[in-house]
Amino acid sequence: MAGLGLLSGLLTGLVILAFRLLIETAQEKLLPGTGGEGYEGLSPLLRLLLCVAGGLVVGVLFQLASARVRDVGVVHVMERLSYHQGHLPLGNALMQFVGAAVSIVSGHSVGREGPGVHLGAAAGSQLGVRLGLPNNTVRTLTACGIAASIAASFNTPLAGVIFAMEVVMMEYTLSGFAPVILAAVSATTVTRIVYGDAPAFVVPALQMLSLTELPLVLLTGVVIGLLAAAFNHSVVFFSGRLTGWPLWLRMTAAGTVTGILALAAPQIMGIGYDTVTASLLGELALPTLVAVAALKLLATTAGIGLGLPGGLIGPTLVVGAMAGGAVGAAVSFWLPAELSHLGFYAMMGMGAMMGASLQAPLAALTAMLELTGNPNIIMPGLLAVITAGLSARRLYGVESVFLLVMRARGLDYRNDPVAQHLRRLAVSAAMDQSVALLPVFAPREQAEAVLADQKPRWILAQEDATPAALLPAADLVHALAEHPQAPAVDLLQIPADRRDVAPIALEATLQEALERLRSSEVEVLYVTRPAAPGILRIYGVLTESHIEQSYRY
């Protein structure tokens, strides 16, 4: 698994590198200026037309595509983890790659990290599927791809690991840490070869001047918590709007909303990390900070809610930085006492907004630390992130934005402790391998030979090479003893504790097995895998009691 984690990280790093280079190359050729997102240099009319045209292009692309490949993004990854054991189709990942690139380049207020999570998860998943690995291993490789994608996108290997465990997988396992960490390290190595090892935001070492500012940090967290609640509810609100419209028209409407808002604040267009850097350097005035925070929030939630294939992790950083900077600027205006640099409050807001919106405080704090390369923010950052998360969850009833969107779509992320345990184990860990195969009408010599040589606990009766029922071997022994002169025995007629059976793949997890038992209304599953074309090998049998024992012990 360590080796597979390393390999999935390298694969994900190459995918994320191609994704970033595509976006940045297109932006350099399309936009004025060099080395950044130059949307501010476009005329108002061009900004509007670019957003509308981008929405139309992406909308037509998705409208023409098959319905089964249209689902993209982090919510799609979580849905596949919850309901499909982490098997992510390649077609959806290709739609994500192209659709997100067009959305970002055309100036929509979306991020690249959410699409990156989908691409990385798909890379890890496809690696496991192509190698024919068990589904619990495929899930681990999916987590490796998620961690690697965040690490490669942000240049934040530690935040990538924690994001994968805290936000998407929602579980921490010792067995999963080693491959996930190696995936994050290898993916970061790939992108650092091209982009270097500098943090995403190169700013001075900002810090809190005095402990007397802790109440202001607390205030920043409360304000950001309110903003995160508005952000999450707004995404859900827009997700339920215009549902009767054709997909191409919904996405064109999303582009129109962004284009109109960009007439007043062009800084909301694109990913917006140049604007974050300006706020961290204290270069933005209070009215600009407030306007960008409000309009970026509206443009992002409208775009994501109406179906644009972009991410919302990056925009939460932008909105949080603007809002945090605005709190610092407003307080410094009213209080004569000297305060920390405005960039310090922007930094607090950035982490607090991400943590509250995703309900992932540890991932947010780690990202804030690695994005800025500033260890001085740890203590006040902890206070801001936790305050924002508590405010959003306890005062406004907000869950992770991804869970809210899943529930709005009629889905749920099944993540109770029992489900977590069963997903980690393959059926091979709990099946009973003491089983022998016999035809339904078994010759006496064959039955006695099987009993003597294999000494099985169970007999699987086959009819036309298909398992028909399971019975205890002791019942067969008793039937043979009762009729010592019978040349053959009918396994479906002798007195026995027969049980109905259904197949389950060897690659399946115990969670899949439990669902299969309940949906098929049988008592026993026989574990099988193709040994050759048209030939199935049976490895063992599995009952609900076997599954329960695996959980108890």
Judge whether residue 36 has pLDDT over 70. no
Lowest mean pLDDT among 220-229, 260-269, 464-473: 464-473
Q: How far apart are CA 143 and CA 126, in angstroms?
A: 12
Residue 119's pLDDT is: 97
Q: Token pair for residue 529?
A: 């895998």
The pLDDT tens digits of the residues spanning 400-426 come to 999 888 888 777 666 666 777 787 788
pLDDT (mean) for 170-191: 85
Residue 426's pLDDT is: 86
Residue 337's pLDDT is: 65
Q: Please list, residue by residue across 5-40, b when 16 or more beta carbons sit within 10 angstroms of its beta carbon and e when fewer do.
A: bbbbbbbbbebbbebbebbbeebeeebeeeebbbbb
Q: Distance of alpha carbon 97 from its chain centroid, rounded?
A: 15
Q: How far apart are CA 475 and CA 442, in angstroms?
A: 14
Residue 409: strand, helix, or coil:
coil
Residue 175's pLDDT is: 64
The pLDDT tens digits of the residues spanning 444-459 come to 999 999 999 999 999 9
34 — pLDDT class (breaks 50, 70, 90):
low
pLDDT (mean) for 199-212: 83
- List domains and CATH numbers for the chain: 2-195 (1.10.3080.10), 211-408 (1.10.3080.10), 421-552 (3.10.580.10)
Most confident of 129-143, 223-237, 418-432, 479-493: 223-237
Q: What is the DSSP string of 37-53?
A: --GGGS-HHHHHHHHHH
The pLDDT tens digits of the residues spanning 253-279 come to 999 999 999 999 999 999 989 899 999
Instruction: HSE, CB side, 13 Å, CA atoms: give it for residue 12.
Output: 44
pLDDT (mean) for 132-154: 91
Judge whether residue 30 has pLDDT over 70. yes
CA distances from 147 to 92, 117, 214, 242, 448 (A): 19, 8, 32, 34, 55
The pLDDT tens digits of the residues spanning 353-392 come to 999 999 999 999 999 989 888 888 889 999 999 999 999 9
pLDDT (mean) for 193-222: 88
The DSSP symbol for 427 reads: G
The pLDDT tens digits of the residues spanning 314-355 come to 999 999 999 999 999 998 888 766 788 888 999 999 999 999
- Decide which of 171 and 487 is more confident: 487
Average pLDDT taken over every residue of the chain = 90
Neighbouring CB atoms inside 10 A of 504's CB total: 25
Judge whether residue 35 has pLDDT over 70. no
Q: How far apart are CA 52 and CA 300, in angstroms?
A: 15
Judge whether residue 552 has pLDDT over 70. no
Judge whether residue 513 has pLDDT over 70. yes
pLDDT (mean) for 190-204: 88
pLDDT (mean) for 46-72: 95
